[in-house]
Chains A and B, each alone.
Chain A
């Protein structure tokens, strides 16, 4: 039972000028093992704050958060992270980046080597083990980041806009890779994204968050991730239900943005 359970999570940031920002308000949800969740929302809605709390980098000011029954207090190997820019250690080779977690635990060397090879195969980087990471393209760097996170066998994988900096084509390939890994490993995955299409395509479950204060606005349960495992993502994106949901969510977010920024005057 390694479900992620949050109960009335609240996060209030005290600013130096005395005021405070309510970044998260009464966030309650349960993410079952093996579920794939995407979180969507306009900027400033607390997506990244939520992720940082789950990762253990922040402590909530109210409510509780548990993974597999134990309270999350600090970062740990049971929650792997993938960042937008990869956050690779550029002074290390691809293999040394991937085996970083195992080296920190002083794992058996031969075992480590095999695992690295295995994971480089899975993410499609066979033979790149000795390449310095600064020579890789953005997409390849994200593959290394994925492998580096997965080799530790975490219960929960947290992705902070992992594909945000990639070009459209690489992005589609990486989306398929994420789905493939989700299916093959059965990991619980939480993805934060800006892209509505990506959220629909990857999210078995989808949270739309609203800003000021950051809160869960609407939850969906979607079939597209399952479909995407076998089907062609581009066909899925053209399906009526996909288009319909996309428009609904876009309108929702557009309205939120207008609420904050004020209506854009017609020229």
Chain B
């Protein structure tokens, strides 16, 4: 219901944004010629257009919209799929979906094989007598195959049986159009069908028992069709003459096998035997005896189309990019409906996982936990402080009493061994990922910017560090990952170091570009205003490089996200990439899409923050 309303709203927004955009284009200021950046300002209706169009595509191709508007469609299409599945073995023997009759295909394939075999026979090193025996054998196999196509040796009663099949199919075609078919539905069956979980409500994606009248028609038809198909597949063209010939061939092969001494001779004999075993399937019939069935199949198809009515339209437009297929005892979505999870399901999964008590693999997505201050003191304050304080640690006396001194008390404090209140600290997969990105980025900026500026200012630094940075930078971070994770471990250290490497290279290059891009006259001006070298770096070169540095940070964040997820996929037990990796192993497409969307939104969020920061800190950019 909500999905249906949302879908209609999205359609309205989409159409409105285009109409509004066109209206604005008509009244647009003509002084902004093509190429003027003013032409890109504003345009939030196009944001609405873009967002709504991508959501519409998602809702449509994941079949979420189809499910919302036609909740019973999948169940009905499942029954149709059952009938299709039942018809298929017969249908595939006729040139409806294929190009040739099944018999034609068999003849084409086997005659070609026999041809190859007789050519091979000519080339083999055999005595004339042997060659003669085998050639005669091959000729007989060929003849037995070819004779199946003639009415002369046809098995008795085949014509009638085919006619019977055709008539039964025709009757079914007429039945499914009639209102009386399949007769009254058993009440317990009906109750059972209605008790099934709805589409997408259980792990069996689509309820398999028919819920609607139309569904019952196809379900019953599928059952009847199954019997017809089974009868059809029993028909063999095993006329007495043909059976006799095959028996004869089989006997001669056995006799020859008994005396075969040479390997090549035995090999070719076994090849001939293989083909003869295909020939004795007797699946080739004279063309004219099966014609009635083809016509009846086409009649059935037309009849199915008529009976489906609007369902076919729903199948094509509301469930695009795939189909519903029937299996042995279940129906499933195939195509985009399968690998593109429905937005509503994805959201439900997200809400389910966002519950901190649930989480994923025993760890919440994003939540907080209470952490005692003493733990943080232990982490932040180095233990060395206690050692550096003058005096001595206490020791025990003769009676075993320990005399604790001031130094001991300080030591307890720095190791966090005291009672303290707790403060909430963020935790969870998403927070871990954010923290790693920020830590790597922070270290990259902290070390990369000074080095970049230094490289932009000093010949030594440029020459010395350039090869180091430029050699490691082009290597994809993932190529480093196995090495780094081995050295630093799979916990946060390794990942943060990997991210640091990525951010560092980008920051070095951007800071260096900024430093070398400083106008000489500004440096000269600062010199003649009495600034020292240090002041020139701090007050002139650094602020002058800010646009490049901030752009570098913006790029770094994006690349860091990409690297982080890849690193978390390699190893680790927390993080958004870890979630996706586990989901990938379990083919859980909803969670995969959820992580993709979470990462996309977080990346967008970071970028928006950076854009805001850039606008606020370097308003002069492009205006100097």
Contacts and interface: CB of A to CB of B under 8 A. Distances in A.
Contacts of A74: 527
A83 interface: yes
A interface bracket (residues with beta carbon within 8 Å of B): 20 to 34
Contacts of A134: 619-620, 623-624
Interface stretch (B14-22, B35-43, B462-470, B518-526): B518-526
Contacts of A149: 528-529
A135 B540 CA distance: 19
Contacts of B530: 76-77, 101, 104-105, 152
B146 interface: no
A75 B533 CA distance: 12
A190 interface: no
B524 A57 contact: yes
A80 B527 CA distance: 9
A263 to B, nearest CB: 36
Contacts of A101: 529-531
B251 interface: no
Interface string B585-624: 0000000000000000000000000000000001110011
B531 A104 contact: yes
Nearest to A91: B543
B522 A89 contact: yes
Interface in B122-158: none
B interface bracket (residues with beta carbon within 8 Å of A): 20 to 34
A143 interface: no
A57 B528 CA distance: 9
B88 interface: no
B84 interface: no
B546 interface: yes
A100 interface: yes
B270 interface: no
Contacts of B491: none
B529 A87 contact: no
A79 interface: yes
B532 interface: yes
Contacts of A85: 519, 521
A260 to B, nearest CB: 26
A76 B620 contact: no
Contacts of B522: 87, 89
Nearest to B624: A90
A148 to B, nearest CB: 7
B72 interface: no
A81 interface: yes
B544 A87 contact: no
Interface string A129-154: 00011110000000001001100101
Contacts of B529: 77, 80, 100-101, 104, 148-149, 152
Contacts of B527: 56-57, 74-75
B528 A80 contact: yes
A132 B528 contact: no
Contacts of A152: 529-530
B354 to A, nearest CB: 43
A55 B531 contact: no
Given A85-B521, A104-B535, A134-B623, A91 B618 contact: yes
Contacts of B546: 91
A132 B620 contact: yes
A145 B532 CA distance: 19
Contacts of A79: 528
Given A104-B535, A132-B620, A89 B528 contact: no
A91 B620 contact: yes
A83 B620 contact: no
Contact of B620 (A80, A90, A145): A90
A152 to B, nearest CB: 6
Interface in B221-250: none
Contact of A89 (B532, B543, B618, B619): B543
A87 B519 contact: yes
Interface in A216-240: none
B524 A81 contact: yes
A84 B524 CA distance: 12
A81 B527 CA distance: 10
Most buried by A among B543, B618, B624: B624
B624 to A, nearest CB: 5
A100 B539 CA distance: 9
B514 to A, nearest CB: 12
Contacts of B619: 132, 134
Contacts of A104: 529-532, 535, 539
Interface string A63-92: 000000000001111011101110101111
A77 B528 contact: yes
Most buried by A among B525, B526, B532, B620: B525
Interface in B519-562: 519, 521-522, 524-532, 535, 539-540, 543-544, 546
Given A76-B530, A104-B531, A152-B530, A55 B524 contact: yes
B522 to A, nearest CB: 5
B548 to A, nearest CB: 13
B543 A75 contact: no
A192 to B, nearest CB: 13
Given A104-B535, A134-B620, A134-B624, A87 B521 contact: yes
B524 A76 contact: no
A133 B540 CA distance: 15
A121 to B, nearest CB: 20
A57 B527 CA distance: 9
Nearest to B546: A91
Contacts of A145: 525
Nearest to A101: B529
Most buried by B among A90, A92, A152, A158: A90
Nearest to B543: A91
Most buried by B among A91, A101, A152: A91
A133 B624 CA distance: 8
Most buried by B among A55, A134, A152: A134
Interface string A106-145: 0000000000000000000000000011110000000001
Given A90-B623, A91-B543, A134-B623, 8 more contacts: A55-B528, A76-B530, A87-B522, A90-B620, A92-B543, A104-B535, A133-B620, A134-B619
Interface of B: 519, 521-522, 524-532, 535, 539-540, 543-544, 546, 618-620, 623-624
The 7 closest A-B pairs by CB, nearest first: A87-B521, A101-B529, A75-B527, A134-B620, A77-B530, A90-B620, A91-B543
16 contacts: A55-B528, A75-B524, A75-B527, A75-B528, A77-B529, A77-B530, A81-B524, A81-B525, A83-B521, A85-B521, A89-B543, A91-B543, A91-B618, A104-B531, A105-B530, A148-B529
